[in-house]
Chain A
């Protein structure tokens, strides 16, 4: 259980175009999803928190007009990179928060496989 998928796994686009990445929780409902960015040989950097039915919360320094997030259902969040440029090329990873059962266990995040974006 608790599987998160991302689509596409890899995308190449021309500079100036927009690209949409989907993140789905396949077997659970996720009121909260997270979007990360990872540069080669670097750590994951949280970009934004996506909440179902409300506006996303962006981290400091992340342009909300450039990285549009929509979380229209309990199983789907989308990240749209608008007017992409070569510097937006990166590995984008989403995660979904699911509550696990048990007295000691609390919420944890399940990660998608990531989307490699290359902007030419």
Chain B
């Protein structure tokens, strides 16, 4: 069974604060993704990566940085957090990219509040 672990599960910060969300997958998957989930918008892709050192820009990247340090670890960085970044964040992994074989395995999510 695929395993994706996110930390922390909950985070509260202030406007202008610095936040790092962590994700680790133990599936030996090549692709990792960061999504945010907001009511009315569904799941929106922030950044993704197809291997260590690689970074691809997603659909809503503004205000976010990401880094893939190893095949297992993918981090999402908010260097100057704003209230508009209050959201539920999900990390996911998949063996391949957007092909017909693609299945995404999601973590349990991190709920971030920016006050």
A-B complex is real: no
